[in-house]
């Protein structure tokens, strides 16, 4: 009896209590590792590796934090799976397998239809129907996993299949991450042929509200200024349009490109992009070969450019001594590591999260308020909050003048770009809580007050002012046009004022931009820039070209479609695709 009693009261070991054996350890480690590795490490690092040129900060600024967070999640999941048994453990394991598998499948679907940075204008907003269908698929897939992992008579076999899926996804994600990491490492290892004098040069906000007491050329570019947006505000009877005296509205204007890259650079240089090289190669070729900015400088113009990096330039050293508002960066400051980590997770989750939870507005510009360059002046950036901030600064400082040189000011605002985050009074609003009409109205409130101050300073009448868009709005990045794509355009030539807004149906395009500027301002050039907007005969059919870069899937064989518009651009029947060429990844 004594021996038997001792045997029955033998302490139960830790392993026996929780049923820990080799299989349980391996599956717990597998699930615990795969969840953070796939959904945090691979998702975030692959986005950074593929788009590192768009970010001001370095890999070392966030990698340790993500690794520590991932290790924490790994420890929690592994411990939970080791220290639970039965239905509870099977539920946790099944949930892990579901999240990893569903996230991986979602990322494949996302990458088939979209590549790039969602918040930089490349991602279309999902329709309600698409969101509901996607959510239904996620729920259905979750139900399948729960059935085969918990409720089915063959649940043990189902969990074995889930183990295989975890291994499969882990291998596939690792295989896809390695090439991106190698490419990134090779880019970082390339010898830097820039000197200390021209390294990390950027465009600043200096001189944004300073014009000349002599002659001025002001080009205000509203991002995505679709002609339909202007028609909206025109039909609304907005009082802000009353300030546009001396202006002509061109209702049949076609932009060269449908996106900020390469539209802004093309507007400033007149040079087309054939996509045979990289963005940087295009910028260098365009800015160094173009005669437009040198012609302005030769005519005693101080040139101030307020355009976004990455999409319009990589290093402002490319402008040489042509542009006044440049500064050399002496490093950068991160205001909040926590916010940086949160924004990166929000950005990376766009690719694997269900449509209902995706943030289509998170992009490289979203980090502008967190990471700032250390230089003589702030960097000019286009963020969701930039236009309200610009207006606030304008109200505080007002326009000033200098009398040493003429001024050419090219101001690229966020304008009509979604997500709509500025109301009609130029106040910052919650994302998508206002309409396109409200945001466009806010832009014209700023413009009307800008014009009012020019008049007060006595520099309005002799100024050349152009209000336009770098491009119109896109219905889809991955579908051919279903209707015409017209960009808003308003022009006031030097000497014009005191007349109501005129409307012209002349068939114009961005090819007429440089000629309009040099002829209106009386600039002496050795280059024939062609016809100005007002020199295009009304009623005469013109042939114009528009290039649309079509996303074609995850193989990155994007196409450059040439639309030839013969005659009236407001009639989509006159838009014909006359050429299409595979160009690889357009943002390379």
Q: What is the pLDDT of residues 271-304, one digit of tens each?
A: 999 999 988 999 999 999 999 999 999 999 999 9
Residues 6+ apart with CB under 8 A from 497: 245, 246, 460, 461
- 320 token code pair: 């040489």
Q: What is the pLDDT of residues 495-551, one digit of tens each?
A: 999 899 999 999 999 999 999 999 999 999 989 999 999 999 999 999 999 999 988
What pLDDT score was predicted for residue 12? Answer: 64
Instruction: Please give the angle made by the CA atoms of 356, 362 and 364, to the nearest 5 degrees.
Output: 155
Q: Is the pLDDT of residue 190 over 80?
A: no
b/e burial code for range 479-504 (CB count within 10 A of at least 16 → b) = eebeebbbbbbbbbbbebbeeebeeb
DSSP 320: T
The percent of residues above 90 in pLDDT, for the chain, comes to 63
Which residues sit opposite 328 in a β-bridge?
A: 201
Distance CA 572, CA 481 (A): 9
Q: Is the pLDDT of residue 139 over 70?
A: yes
Helix and strand numbers, DSSP H then E, in the chain? 16, 18
pTM of the model: 0.80
What pLDDT score was predicted for residue 197? Answer: 45
Q: What is the mean pLDDT of residues 17-43?
A: 88
Match domain 201-331+374-540 to its CATH number in 3.50.4.10, 3.40.640.10, 3.40.190.80, 3.40.720.10. 3.40.720.10
Instruction: Please give the angle made by the CA atoms of 489, 493 and 495, to the nearest 5 degrees.
Output: 150
DSSP 10: P
Residues 6+ apart with CB under 8 A from 118: 347, 350, 358, 359, 360, 361, 362, 363
Q: What is the pLDDT of residues 361-390, one digit of tens each?
A: 666 667 777 887 777 788 898 877 889 999
What pLDDT score was predicted for residue 196? Answer: 36
Q: What is the mean pLDDT of residues 55-67?
A: 89
Which residues sit opposite 504 in a β-bridge?
A: 250
Looking at per-residue pLDDT, the higher value among 407 and 110 belongs to: 407
What pLDDT score was predicted for residue 227? Answer: 96
- 415 token code pair: 């304008």
What pLDDT score was predicted for residue 212? Answer: 95
Cis ω for the linkage preceding 419 (within 30 of 0): yes
Q: What is the pLDDT of residues 141-185, one digit of tens each?
A: 999 999 988 888 888 898 899 999 999 999 999 998 898 888 888
DSSP string, 515-557: HHHHHHHT---SS-----GGGSPTT---EEEEEEEE---TT--
* Lowest mean pLDDT, pick from 38-52, 82-96, 117-131: 117-131
Q: Which of 209, 244, 249 is CA-nearest to residue 231?
A: 249
CA distances from 499 to 218, 349, 354 (A): 19, 52, 53
Domain extent listing, the chain: 14-189, 201-331+374-540
């Amino acid at each position: 009896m004594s021996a038997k009693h001792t045997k029955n009261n033998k302490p139960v070991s830790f392993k026996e209590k929780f049923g820990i054996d080799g299989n349980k350890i391996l599956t717990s480690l597998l699930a615990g590792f795969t969840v953070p590795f796939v959904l945090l490490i691979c998702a975030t690092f692959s986005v950074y590796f593929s788009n590192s040129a768009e970010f001001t900060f370095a890999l070392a600024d966030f990698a340790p934090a993500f690794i520590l967070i991932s290790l924490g999640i790994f420890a929690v999941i592994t411990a939970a799976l080791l220290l639970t048994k039965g239905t509870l453990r099977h539920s946790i394991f099944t949930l892990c397998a579901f999240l990893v598998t569903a996230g991986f499948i979602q990322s494949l679907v996302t990458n088939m239809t979209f590549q790039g940075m969602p918040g930089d204008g490349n991602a279309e907003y999902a329709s309600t129907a698409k969101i509901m269908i996607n959510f239904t698929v996620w729920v259905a897939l979750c139900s399948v996993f729960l059935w085969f992992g918990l409720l089915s008579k063959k649940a043990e076999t189902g969990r074995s299949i889930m183990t295989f899926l975890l291994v499969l996804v882990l291998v596939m994600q690792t295989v896809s991450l390695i090439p991106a990491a190698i490419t990134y490492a090779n880019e970082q290892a390339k010898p830097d042929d820039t000197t200390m004098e021209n390294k990390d040069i950027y465009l600043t906000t200096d001189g944004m509200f300073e014009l000349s007491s002599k002659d001025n050329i002001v080009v205000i570019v509203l991002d995505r200024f679709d002609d339909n947006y202007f028609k909206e505000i025109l039909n609304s009877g907005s009082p802000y349009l009353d300030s546009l005296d001396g202006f002509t509205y061109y209702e049949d204007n076609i932009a060269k490109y449908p996106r900020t890259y390469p539209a802004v650079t093309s507007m400033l240089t007149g040079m087309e992009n054939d996509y045979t090289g990289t963005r940087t190669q295009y910028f260098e070729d365009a800015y160094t070969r173009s005669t437009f900015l040198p012609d302005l400088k030769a005519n005693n113009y101080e040139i101030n450019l307020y355009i976004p990096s990455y999409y319009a330039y990589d290093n402002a050293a490319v402008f040489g001594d042509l542009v006044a508002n440049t500064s050399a960066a002496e490093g950068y400051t991160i205001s909040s590591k926590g916010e940086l980590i949160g924004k990166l997770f929000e950005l990376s989750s766009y690719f694997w999260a269900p449509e209902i939870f995706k943030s289509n507005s998170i992009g490289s510009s979203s980090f502008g308020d967190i990471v700032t360059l250390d230089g003589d002046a702030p960097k000019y950036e286009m963020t969701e909050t930039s236009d309200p901030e610009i207006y606030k600064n304008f109200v505080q400082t007002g326009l000033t003048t200098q009398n040493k040189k003429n001024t050419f000011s090219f101001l690229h605002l966020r304008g009509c770009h979604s997500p709509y985050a500025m109301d009609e009074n130029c106040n910052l609003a919650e994302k998508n809580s206002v309409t396109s009409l409200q945001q466009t109205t806010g832009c014209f409130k700023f413009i009307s007050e800008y014009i009012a101050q020019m008049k007060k300073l006595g520099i309005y009448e002799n100024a050349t002012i152009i209000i336009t868009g770098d491009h119109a709005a896109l219905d889809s990045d991955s579908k051919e046009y279903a209707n015409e794509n017209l960009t808003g355009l308003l022009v006031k030539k030097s000497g014009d004022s005191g007349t109501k807004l005129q409307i012209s149906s002349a068939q114009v395009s961005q090819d007429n931009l440089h000629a309009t500027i040099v002829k209106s301002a009386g600039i002496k050039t050795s280059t024939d820039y062609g016809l100005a907007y007002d020199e295009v005969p009304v009623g005469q059919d013109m042939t114009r070209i528009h290039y649309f870069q079509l996303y074609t899937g995850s193989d990155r064989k994007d196409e450059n479609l040439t639309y030839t518009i013969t005659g009236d651009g407001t009639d989509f029947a006159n838009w014909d695709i006359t050429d299409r060429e595979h160009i690889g990844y357009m943002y390379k």
